[in-house]
Structure 1
Amino acid sequence: MSESVWWILEKVAEDKIQRAIDEGQFEKLPGMGKPLEMEDTSWVPEELRMAYKILKNSGHVPKEVEERKELNNLVEALENCEDEQERYRQMRKLNAMVTRVNASRATPVRVDVEDAYYEKIVERVRLYGKRPDKDR
């Protein structure tokens, strides 16, 4: 589209917003005056975040995306766990989820060494192993 068309669309949108403000349509909205709740989508590749947001808002997030989010949450919980018994429980939970994900697919998930997500997990686990234990 040419610049003049964008300018016209922008002007129409601004006029509609101003009219809604003048009519009080933005008053007493849920969450008014509260900070926005920002969703952590760092686990979604940057180039897919907009598509993820659109799918999520429409209630159509693919199962694989939800599984990856859950796996990421389990890895973070494991990474931040100080208690040895709790760490073991988190590791078992992570292992169980990977097993469940693989069992639900026709072909098991093969984590490719070139996969950025795989590299991120390996780096986290490697760094976790280098953390000094406070109990020792």
Structure 2
Amino acid sequence: MLFTEPVPIRMDIAEVIAEGKIREAMEKGEFENLPGKGKPLQIDDLSHVPEELRAGYIILKNAGVLPEELQLKKEIISLQKLIDYCNDEEERCTLRKKMNQKILRFDMLMEKRRLSPSLIHYKNKIYKKFGRY
């Protein structure tokens, strides 16, 4: 593979291979007509996510997977809407039971999260930064 530009000395073999693959893709036009082309990148504010959890958060988000508590929250909202429009009292009772189970599970997850050592550590770092400790 011939390069038109000199390869910087600090590049390791993986970087050289990656750069070569990117150039090949550009020459083939594989980066044309990508969604969002010409628009600024939407950068997520991850300040609310502890640093050690950010990589996992990004991977799950890109895969379209919601954290369990967010999925439960969506299901609770959907069940509440169904209850609001339901005319059958027996079905409404069944939906309420399902919703109460999901609320209980959500509350348990949130309680566990409050006691998470990584979140306690993260909170302590914030307090130290602002001089509260």
Superposition TM-score, scaled by structure 1 size: 0.46
Structure number with greater Rg is: 2
Superposition TM-score, scaled by structure 2 size: 0.47
**RCO higher in 1 or 2 (8 Å CA, sep ≥ 6)?**
2
